[in-house]
Structure 1
C-alpha cells in the first residue's frame, strides 16, 4: 500500500510541475491537480479513483458550464428518481471495485509477461570462463580508477539458487561462493 501512495504522490507532483512555472504558488494549484488525478482513468485499474470511492464519475467544472448528456439527464429527474438511481449506483459500487481489482490483476500479468519476454536467462556450465566483479566493500577493491572486473576464472561447480564455486585456471577452487549477478561470461 505504501508503494501505491508513493506512486500517487509522484503523479500529483508531475501534474503540479506542469501547472506552475516556478516552485511558488503550488498550494493554490493543489486542489486542481488533485481533481485532475482523481478524475483521470488509471491504466492499471481501468477506472478513476473517484469512481471507486463514490460509485459515480465526478462532475468536472466544464460540465457545469456546458452541460453534458449525463448532467442533462440527471437534471430532469425528480428527487425520488434521483435517489433511486443513486441507490442503484451505490449498490453496484462493490461490483465496480471487483471489476477494477480483476482489471488490475490482468494488467499486472500483462506487465509481468512483457518483462519476462525481455529477460534472458544466464546459464553457466562447469568449465566456462567468467569474470568476477569487484565491489567497493570487498578486500580486492583497489580504488575507483582500478578495473572493476577480475579474472578469468573457471566455473568449478554450479549450485542451486544461482551460486557458483569458482576456481583459478590451475583448478584450485575458491573457498567463497560467488553469486550469479557478480559474474560475466568471458569470451576467448
Structure 2
C-alpha cells in the first residue's frame, strides 16, 4: 500500500480507493480467502469485469443470483470458521519456522542473567529510552526445572 501511494505522489488521495479495493479483493495466504468474501459472503465483481465482460457477467441472472446469495449466507459462518482454522495453522507454521533459528540456552547455577523489567515498574521520566532490562544477576539456586533464584551483583 505504501509503495503504491508513494508512487502516486500528490495524487495519493485519488489512488487510495483503488489500493484499498485491491487489498480487499486479493486472496490472503493466511486465510485462503479474500477479506471481501469473509465480510460479505460473496466474491466481488471487479471493475475490469464491467468494462470487459466476462462469462460471469454475461450469464448474470438477477433472480438466480439472489437465491444463490441467500444460500451462500447459510455457509458464511462455516467459511469464516475454516478461514480462522487456516489462519491458526499459518501462524503455527510461521512460529515453527521462526523458532528453527532460535537456539535454546540451558541455564545453570553461577550463570549471569538479565531480568526483563515489567512495564508498570518502568514508568518514569525517560520515556521510550527507559531500559527494558535490569541486572546483571547471578543464579544461585534452581528451585524447579527452569525456575531459578537470582541475586544482585
Report the TM-score, using the length of structure 1 for normalisation: 0.58
Equivalent residue, structure 1, for 2:82: 99
Whether the 8 Å contact between 1:55 and 1:90 is mirrored in structure 2 is yes
What is residue 171 of structure 1 aligned with on the other side? none
Name the count of aligned residue pairs: 134
Equivalent in the alignment of 1:176? 152
Matching of residue 113 in structure 1 with residue 96 in structure 2: yes
Match of 1:40 in 2: 26
Shift in Å, 1:13? 3.1
Deviations 1:3-50 (A, max 9, x none): xxxxxxxxx434423x41x3x221111111110111111111111111
Tell whether 2:12 aligns with 1:26.
Answer: yes
Q: Does the CA-based 8 Å contact 1:124-1:158 persist in structure 2?
A: no
1:122-137 paired onto structure 2 within 5 Å = 122-127=105-110
CA RMSD of aligned residues (A): 3.1
In 1, Cα distance between equivalents of 2:48 and 2:75: 27
Residues 41, 47 of structure 1: 8 Å contact kept: yes
Partner Cα separation in structure 1 for residue 149 and residue 15 of structure 2: 56
TM-score normalized by the length of structure 2 = 0.70
Shift of 1:131: 8.5
Larger radius of gyration: 1
1:157 shift after superposition: 3.6
1:53 to 2:39 alignment: yes
